[in-house]
Amino acid sequence: MTGASSAWLAGLSDVQHQVATYASGPQLVTAGPGSGKTRTLCAWIVERLASDQAQPEEILAVTFTRRAAQELRERLQGLLGPRAERLSVGTFHRLAVQVAPLAGSLHVVEEAERLQLIDVALSGSGCRKSVSSLSSLISLRKGQHPDYGQRLSSGELDLSAEELQVFRRYEQLLVEAGAVDLDDLLLRALTALVADAMGRRFRFVAVDEYQDVSAVQRALTVALGQHATVLAIGDPDQAIYAFRGGEVRHFRGFLDDFPGAVSRCLVENHRSTPQIVRASAAVIAHNSDRRPPPPVPMRPSGAALTLWRSSSPFAEAQRVAKEIERLIGGTSLLAYDSGQSASWQQGSYGFADVAILTRTVARADALGKALGESGLPFSRPSVKPAQAVIESGQAVWEPFCEADQLEDQRLALLTLHGAKGLEFAVVFLVGLEAGQIPGLGRSDAERQEERRLFFVGMTRAKERLYLSYVDASLANQGSERGESRPSPFLAEIPGELMVAEAAPKRRPPKPQLRLF
């Protein structure tokens, strides 16, 4: 793989080429939206093999979702052919089972069994939290503390006495059931790596979406880096998973964990129009804790962003549905045949080119109902529990995300969190009221994360971006709590990049004919 066969480096920018060809030490790469992150990561892996620095079995690539891992495998197969099958590519949980296999009768609890155990642990504890909230809290604390077991024993987990009792009882029930949960897989793998059980196997490690790592995943990366050259790549402006332990400080901490590491930035945006790039950059620039340089749009100029104000969520959904029909030229003649449209012609987009994104699951579900009534085909994935994938006789447990379940040739109806890592020609960001995003009573840190979430939604769009909110005062509904005010993030978009469209006027009802 030399000379004319170095196609994996062709067309890379100067900085991408520097990343791909550097192997003298650890690298931290800040890669903004549409900057060719995955392409650069693949080029780095292929270059290690082409330069005879490693064998495929000595390279590990870790990412966060099954969908991202599958995309990475497919790209590497296109570049390497059968050799790609010998690479280790997968999620952190897949790595964990590989490093610390489950022995004997030990099994991973499914979500239903886990909730039952928590319910039993909750009984008689005096704790007033729900089972679901305790489930999230247990997962959060396990992700936040690589020394979780010691902290559980000493009580240093920032819990009430009642919560600590539930935590300890839950762990006891796991032991009695001969089980571990998903978070335990990562903790077990960390113990194995620190003990050097598998640490020397990999010579080169790439970690994708590094801005999303928890403290335990950060510790896993550091442990792997004791014997391997590490490439960490991601975007701190897209760090949106604090609720599960993914804090932006872990991304920045890479340079402390790996002294002498090289830091580079990929700033060229090849995905979105200049209008979308500049608008999203203007919004995220209001976060005081950010450091990356501004993005450079590489695509031709496009349409201005569109701002809508509607009187109710239902009116908003109807407006979205009608605009989608206009963009695609009618729902495959459905609107024309049913009399909803006076004419039909082929539009510029297909259903799969369009995404509707919301802040909350409840708002997405309400939109789904309205879209269903309109006859538009859409995919509304749910957040499912983890699923076991059998590989070489070993059950590999991985959590699901919404993007793993999207259906082809349908509109995508997703939460902002679920849209992470995806891109669409047309994006509708709906439900942009202050009460939804950033929400009321947020701390400064929470507000900055909500702004990053808004930024993620904006940067999913390649060509057209619609921003929509509900103003309850238009329908003379109460809004004394401020929930129907537009999100303050909308005011951070430069006015020259956005056009506000008035709501379509309602047609007066036709007068009934008199019979006499």
The C-alpha angle with vertex 93 and arms to 457 and 396, in degrees rounded to 5, equals 120
Q: Among 454, 458, 486, which residue's Cα sits nearest to residue 470?
A: 486
Exposure of 19 by Cβ count < 10 A (0-12 exposed, 13-18 middle, 19+ buried)? buried
Q: Is residue 38 annotated as involved in ligand binding? A: yes
Q: Is residue 25 annotated as involved in ligand binding? A: no
Residues 6+ apart with CB under 8 A from 32: 235, 237, 265, 266, 267, 269, 292, 295
Report the C-alpha gap between 235 and 289 in whole angstroms. Answer: 13
Q: Is residue 439 annotated as involved in ligand binding? A: no
Q: Among 58, 32, 63, which residue's Cα sits nearest to residue 45?
A: 58
Strands (E), 326-423: 354-358, 378-379, 387-391, 394-398, 411-415
The C-alpha angle with vertex 404 and arms to 399 and 407, in degrees rounded to 5, equals 150
Residue 298 tokens, joined: 């590489």
Integer CA distances (angstroms), 81 to 46, 48, 55, 66, 265, in order? 11, 15, 14, 21, 30
Q: Is residue 34 annotated as involved in ligand binding? A: yes
Coarse DSSP helix, strand, coil percentages of the chain, rounded to the nearest 5 percent: 45, 15, 40
What is the sign, positive or negative, of the torsion defined by CA atoms of 143, 146, 149, 150? Answer: negative
Q: Is residue 369 annotated as involved in ligand binding? A: no
Q: Is residue 32 annotated as involved in ligand binding? A: yes
Residue 411 CB neighbour total at 10 angstroms = 28
The torsion region of residue 388 among left (phi > 0), alpha (psi -120 to 50) and beta comes to beta
| DSSP conformational letter for 34 | T
Report the C-alpha gap between 406 and 378 in whole angstroms. Answer: 9
Dihedrals phi, psi of 319, to nearest 5 degrees: -65, -40
Q: Is residue 377 annotated as involved in ligand binding? A: no
For 301, what's the count of Cα atoms within 13 Å in the CB-facing half-sphere? 2
Exposure of 5 by Cβ count < 10 A (0-12 exposed, 13-18 middle, 19+ buried)? exposed
The number of residues making up the chain comes to 516
Residue 86 tokens, joined: 């010998």
Residue matched to tokens 């077990």 = 188
Exposure of 375 by Cβ count < 10 A (0-12 exposed, 13-18 middle, 19+ buried)? middle
Q: Is residue 37 annotated as involved in ligand binding? A: yes
Annotated binding site: 31-38
Annotated binding site for ATP: 31-38
